[in-house]
Each structure stands twice: as C-alpha cells, then as structure tokens.
Amino acid sequence: MASHAALAHHFESLEKQTQAQRLGMWLFLASEILLFTALFAAYGVYRYLYAGAFAEASRGLETWMGGVNTFVLVTSSLTVALGLDAARQGRTRRTATLFFLSIGMGLVFMGLKAVEYRHHVLHGELPGRFYTAGHIAGSGGSLFFALYFLITGLHAVHVVVGMTVLGVIGVKSWRGAYSAEYHTPVELAGLYWHLVDLIWIFVFPLIYLI
C-alpha cells in the first residue's frame, strides 16, 4: 500500500511525518516570502520618492492584462484546491486532471506576460540603463521598470517552478502513486502554487493600479 511505503524509518507515524512535511513546506514558503521582501522594500522606497513618475508609468501598462492574469491565477488556485480535495477522496485521476488544468492556466498567465514584456521591449520601457522611453521626466521611469521586471520576473520564475512541481505531482497522481490515506505531496505542491498566487495578489495592485 502506498501509505506504508511512504513512511520514513525515522518518523514514528505517518501522521507525524505529514505534520513535519507541512511545517517544512511552510518554513520554505516563509523563506520565499522573505526573498521577495527586498524587492517590495525597494518598491516602497522608490514609489515614495518618485510617486508621480510611478503613477504615470503604471498608467502606461496594459492594466486589463494584469487583471485577467489575476483572475487566471486565482482560478488556478481554485483548481489546485479542488485537486487536493479530490485526492482526499481517493480520486487521484481527478487530481491529475485538475492539476493539468492549473498548469494550463499558468501557461495562459505566462503567455500574457510574454505579450506584455514584448510590448515593453518595443517601447523602450526597460530597466536601468536600457530605459529609452523618455516620456517620464527624471529617473522614476527607469526605476519603475527596473522594479517591474525584477518583481514580475522573479514571480514568473516561481510560476515556472510551480508548474513543474504541479506537473510532476500530477503525473504521479495519474499513475496512482497517491491515495486517500497518503497524498501529502499533492498538498505540498498545492501550497507552493497558492503562494505563487498569493504573491501576485499583492503585485497586481502595487504595479498595475497605482
């Protein structure tokens, strides 16, 4: 049975092991949150110093794309949560399907971001010394786009990692590696994906809705 094989020798019970894996995942998520923090702090400082420029730069973004992406990610979180729910009921093929659906939405997200990035490249809205757009006075424009690419870029990296994790766990779930008694990897994969969504929930208003 999957659950017996899953218990490591140094844990006294599967319940303890699951508790440990959850705590471990939350600690890892905490470190991921702190990874973004320096960028948010830089954003806070420079938005304060260049409030007008940031607002103007933000108005130049395609807000509807950011909004659609938010709807997409939130819905992908729903499908992941439903996937875990299915796993708890032992319906692991359903879990896989839902996870693949979430990956699909992740791809939509990345697609929209790619379109946006292309737009910025074409208009010279690039970070640091590559900023040539010029319609914003002072350094605010170049700083906005430096932070824009750093924050959304780091987030995109996490989206890709999240999709990979969902993919691996999805495939294993399809092949019957999990059951109602043991599906902790499904839960952990879900936690990572929800974090990706959680971060975007804050990124969207801070970048697009100034």
Partner 1 sequence: MSPRPASSAPVFAERNYLNTPATGLRSWLTTRDHKRIGVMFLVAALIAFAIGGFFALLIRLELLTPGPTIMDAMSYNRIFTLHGVVMIFLFMIPAIPSGFGNFLVPIMVGAKDVAFPRLNLLSFYLYLLGAVIALAGMVYGGADTGWTFYTPYSTTTPTKVVPILLGAFILGFSSILTGLNFIVTTHTLRAPGITWNKLPLFVWSIYATSVIQILATPVLGMTLLLVAIEHAFGWGIFDPARGGDPVLFQHFFWFYSHPAVYIMILPAMAVMSEVVCAFSRKNIFGYKAVAYSSLGIAFVGFFTWGHHLFTSGQSPYNAGVFGVLSMFVGIFTAIKVFNWVATMYRGSISFTTPFIYFVGFLFFLFFGGMTGVALATVSLDIHWQDTYFVVAHFHFIMVGSTMMAFLAALHYWWPKITGRMYNERWGLVAAVFVILGFVFTFLPQFLLGNEGMPRRYYSYPERYWALNVASTAGASVLALGFMIVLAYILVALKHGAVAGADPWGSRGYEWLTASPPPLENFDELPAFERGPHEYHDLPAASPQAPPGAARGASHG
Partner 2 sequence: MSAHHAAHGPTVHSHVGRYLLVWGGLMILTAVTWGLSSFHLPGGAGVAVALTIASVKGGLVALFFMHLYDQPGPNRLVLLTSLVFVALLVLLTLLDNATRFPLANPPDAETAPQRIRDAILNEARPAPVH
Closest by CA to 166, choosing from 106, 105, 103, is: 103
**CA gap 133, 149 in Å, rounded:** 15
CB of 169 to partner 2, least distance (A): 16
Binding string, residues 142-171; x marks residues near partner 2 by CB under 8 A: ------------------------------
Helix axis angle for 92-122 and 63-88, nearest 10°, is 170
In this chain, which of 140, 141, 162, 170 binds partner 2, going by CB under 8 A?
140
Q: Which two tokens stand for residue 6?
A: 């899953």
Q: Which does 89 bind (CB under 5 to 8 A by kind): partner 1, partner 2, none?
A: partner 2
Which residue lies nearer to partner 2 by CB, 45 or 118? 45
Closest by CA to 148, choosing from 53, 29, 34, 30, is: 53
In this chain, which of 6, 80, 147, 186 binds partner 2, going by CB under 8 A?
80
Q: Which helix (H) or strand (E) holds 18?
A: helix 14-49
Q: Which does 35 bind (CB under 5 to 8 A by kind): partner 2, partner 1, none?
A: partner 1
Q: Does 8 bind partner 2 (CB under 8 A)?
A: no
